[in-house]
Amino acid sequence: MKDSTVVSGLKRVVKHRVFLPVLSFLVLIGVFLFSSQFTARPPVIEGIAPAVGNPGSVMVISGKNFGETRQGGEVTVAGARLTSSSYREWSDERISIRVPDNVGSGQVFVTTRVGQSNGVLFTNRQHIPVVLSGPLKPGYPYISSIDPKVGTVGTLVTISGLNFGFERGAGRVYFTATGTSDESRQDGTDVLSYSIADLDEDFDCESWTDQEIQVYVPDGSESGNLRVKTDRGLSNTVYFEVTGMPGTKLFADSRGYQISYSVEIRNVEAEEKNSLDVWFPDIYRGLRQRNVEVLHEPEPLWKDVGNFQRYRFENLQTGEDVDIRATAWFERYTLETTINVPKVTERYNTERLLFKTYTAPDRLIPSDNAVLRQDAAEAVGRERNPYLKARKLYNHLLETMDFSRTPVSRDPLTSFQEGEGDAYSISVLFTALLRSQGIPARLISGYLVYGDKMAVKHYWSEFFLENFGWVPVDPVLGDGVQYGNFPDPAVIDPATYYFGNLDNRHISFSRGISEIKPAGVNNNHTYRERMYSLQTIHEEYMGIRSYDAFYRDISIIEWW
The H or E element that residue 90 is part of is: strand 87-90
| Contact by Cβ (8 Å): 232, 282 | no
**Beta strands, E only, 125-246:** 142-147, 150-151, 156-162, 172-176, 195-197, 205-208, 212-216, 224-229, 238-242
SS (H, E, C) 527-553: CCCCCCCCECCCEEEEEEEEEEEEEEE
The three-class DSSP label of residue 165 is: coil
Residue 492 has pLDDT above 90, yes or no: no
Dihedral sign of CA atoms 398, 406, 514, 522 in order: negative
Classify 392 in phi/psi space as left (phi over 0), alpha (psi -120 to 50) or beta.
alpha
| Phi, psi for residue 130 in degrees, rounded to 5 | -75, 125
CA separation for the pair 214, 198 (Å, rounded): 11
DSSP-derived letter for residue 295 is E
CA–CA separation, 458 and 506 (whole Å): 8
DSSP lists the bridge partners of residue 258 as 329, 558
Report all structural domains of the chain as residue ranges with CATH numbers, in order of start. 44-125 (2.60.40.10), 129-244 (2.60.40.10), 250-333+512-559 (no CATH), 345-500 (3.10.620.30)
Specify the DSSP class assigned to residue 514.
B
Contacts 24+ apart (CB under 8 A), 20-28: none
pLDDT of residue 522: 84
- pLDDT confidence of residue 187: 40
Rounded Cα distance, 278 and 550, in Å: 12
Are 31 and 24 spatial neighbours (Cβ–Cβ below 8 Å)?
no
DSSP letter assigned to residue 129: P
Nearest to 535 by CA among 543, 527, 523: 527
- CA distance linking residue 325 with residue 156, whole number of Å: 40
The pLDDT of 94-100, averaged and rounded, is: 89
Q: What is the pLDDT of residue 1?
A: 45
Angle of CA points 333, 531, 364, to nearest 5°: 100
pLDDT at 303 over 80: yes
Average pLDDT, the chain: 89
pLDDT beyond 50 at 390: yes
For 334, residues 6+ apart whose C-beta sits below 8 A from its C-beta are 251, 252, 253, 254, 501, 502, 503, 504
Q: What are phi and psi of 527, to 5 degrees?
A: -115, 135
With bands split at pLDDT 50, 70 and 90, how would you rate the model's confidence at 124?
Answer: confident
Q: What is the DSSP letter of 216?
A: E
Residues 444-491 pLDDT 10s: 999 999 999 999 999 999 999 999 999 999 999 999 999 999 998 887
Average pLDDT on 211-233 reads 95
More confident residue, 103 or 392: 392
Cα dihedral across residues 242, 243, 248, 252: positive or negative: positive
Q: How far apart are CA 246 and CA 345, in angstroms?
A: 8
What interhelical angle do 386-400 and 423-436 show, nearest 10? 140
Per-residue pLDDT at 309: 94
Looking at residue 419, its amino acid is G
**Can you list the positions of beta strands (E) in 466-500?**
469-473
Beta strands 205-208 and 247-281, pairing class: unpaired
pLDDT at 388 over 50: yes
Q: Is the distance from CB of 433 to CB of 393 less than 8 angstroms?
A: yes
Check the CA dihedral 216-221-224-230 and report its sign.
negative
Mean pLDDT of 46-60: 84
Residue 238 has pLDDT above 90, yes or no: yes
Pairing, β 247-281 against β 74-77? unpaired
Work out the average pLDDT over 204-213. Answer: 95
Residue type, 51: A
pLDDT on residue 247: 94
Alpha helices in 405-493 (DSSP H): 412-418, 423-436, 475-478
Q: Residue 359: exposed, middle, or buried by beta-carbon count in 10 A (0-12, 13-18, 19+)?
A: buried
Q: Does residue 190 have a pLDDT over 70?
A: no
Instruction: Give the containing element (helix H, strand E) for 507.
Output: strand 506-511
Residues near 373 by Cβ (< 8 Å), separated by ≥ 6?
367, 436
Number of other residues whose CB lies within 10 A of the CB of residue 88: 12
494, containing H or E segment:
helix 494-497
Which residue type, as a one-letter code, is found at position 169?
A: G
pLDDT, position 558: 96
CA–CA distance, 358 with 156 (Å, rounded to integer): 19
pLDDT, residue 30, reads 54
Q: State pLDDT tens for residues 506-529.
A: 999 999 999 998 887 888 999 999
Q: What is the pLDDT of residue 525?
A: 93
In order of 49, 75, 473, the CA distances from 94 in angstroms are 11, 12, 44
Check: CB of residue 60 under 8 Å from CB of residue 95: yes
pTM: 0.77
Maximum C-alpha span of the chain: 128
Instruction: Give the C-alpha separation, 492 to 494, whole Å.
Output: 6
Please report the pLDDT score of residue 6 as a whole number: 40
- The answer to whether residue 54 scores a pLDDT higher than 90 is no
Give the per-residue pLDDT at 330: 97
